[in-house]
Amino acid sequence: MAKTTKRHCALCGREEAEVGLMLQGLQGCVCGDCVERSYEVLQEAGVATPVRKKAAQPDINLGQVPKPREMKEYLDQYVIGQDTAKRYLSVSVYNHYKRLAQETASGREVNDADIEKSNIIMVGATGTGKTLLARTIAHLLDVPFSIVDATVFTEAGYVGEDVESILSRLLQAADYDVARAQRGIVFIDEIDKIARKSDNPSITRDVSGEGVQQGLLKLLEGSVVNVPPKGGRKHPDQDYVQVDTRNILFICGGAFDGIEARIAQRLNMHTIGYDNVRQAKRIDPKNLMRYIDPTDLKSFGLIPEIIGRLPVLTYLQPLDREALHRILTEPRNSLVKQYEKLFAMDGVTLTFAPEALDFVVDKAVEYKLGARGLRSIMESIMTDAMFEMPSSGKNTFEVTADYARREYERNGHEVA
């Protein structure tokens, strides 16, 4: 009768009965304890990278997430007008949380329909509130939020930043909590600046245009990305953090300067016929942005693949005189309230004459800079008062129309 040979570890010599696991190789066996110790030695030598355990993510309680109407009411406190954009943003964010709730649901059925991502693209002129909307909704939801500028990105291998640095900034906002960052919100500003330079795909490199759009595809769609935690370029010897972008909500914004001409061209494509005359009467020529659709983004220079990954398209209306006046005074963080608080901290009661605010609004309309232009105009008017009043000993100060006009002119601006 043949003698049975007992298996033993080739490294420590212990038999199979003495260890919990024995791995069989071509020339011998290795026990589980020796495998584990070998891995620790490789880690200490810097040869093997640590195994990152997947962080446990708590379940999403939809009952604690604000409803779309509640989100819009919160946005109304900080952003004047733009009701259409607020509604689209509120619904998309709420559906995003429904998607997260489905991902973490323990009793989910196998044949349940998968909810896809609701990435958003907002189109509107500068100063209409795109960045403010995204920042305000992130503040309401208390999730990691980062703002990135698309103009700094280049195709991999060229001078500039890789698209993965988007996630580096989100990680920093989440205090390097990967699980929390994977449920954050990223606002990509100036998305129109990476438009394709020509209508046809180029045979040469478009390193800051179409190449960047191609790099963004995997982030928007959802994939596991190796992210340099401290940002910067990628290096072979650099440690990476793996971030899953499937549950990150991406909000893109851009002015798309000149897209109104493309919209007008599309709306007036057929100029013959009675029906077209009636349609032309229904079109508002002062607000062509409301008629935007994905074909206009494609003609502007966004590739079809990236348009498909931004399914929610909304617009922001240009700000008229009434809206600018309300922005000055009504929101919680309005400019008038900010200046009143600055003066109150020095014991000075600040008031604005209605005519002075009318002057500021008139100049903002003249320069066509939107709400962003209001701040620069107010700074030109208020700088001298903020310099003198803390030392004057006075406890009241009123900004009149004559004072606003004189200070604005004194700071090098022409007054009509």
Q: What is the pLDDT of residues 155-208, one digit of tens each?
A: 655 545 677 878 888 888 888 888 888 888 889 888 888 887 665 555 555 555
CA distance 236 to 49: 13
Which H or E element spans position 315? strand 312-315
Q: Between residues 251 and 280, which one has the greater pLDDT?
A: 251
CA distance 373 to 179: 39
Please indicate, yes or no, whether the overall pTM of this predicted structure exceeds 0.75.
no
- Is residue 271 pLDDT above 50, yes or no? no
C-alpha–C-alpha distance, residues 138 and 75, integer Å:
11
Which of 216, 240, 236 has its CA nearest to residue 228? 240
Residue 234, CB half-sphere, CA atoms under 13 Å: how many?
14
Task: Tell me the C-alpha distance between 244 and 306, whole Å.
Answer: 19
Of the candidates 207, 190, 195, the residue with the CA atom closest to the CA atom of residue 298: 195
The per-residue pLDDT for 40 is 80
User: What DSSP assignment string belongs to 156-189?
Assistant: TTSSSB-TTHHHHHHHHHTTT-HHHHTT-EEEEE
CA dist 216 and 218 (Å) reads 6
The pair of structure tokens assigned to 279 is: 């349609």
Residue 402's pLDDT band, with cuts at 50, 70 and 90, is very high
Q: List beta partners, residue 120.
A: 251, 312
- pLDDT for 269 equals 54
Confidence of residue 55 (pLDDT cuts 50, 70, 90): very low
CA quadruple 291, 296, 302, 306: dihedral sign: positive
Q: Tell me if 119 sits within 8 A of 249, measured CB to CB.
A: yes
pLDDT recorded at residue 155: 62
Longest dimension (CA), the chain: 116
How far is the C-alpha of 398 from the C-alpha of 175, rounded, in Å? 44
Amino acid identity of residue 97, one-letter, is Y
Q: How many CB atoms lie within 10 A of CB 407?
A: 17
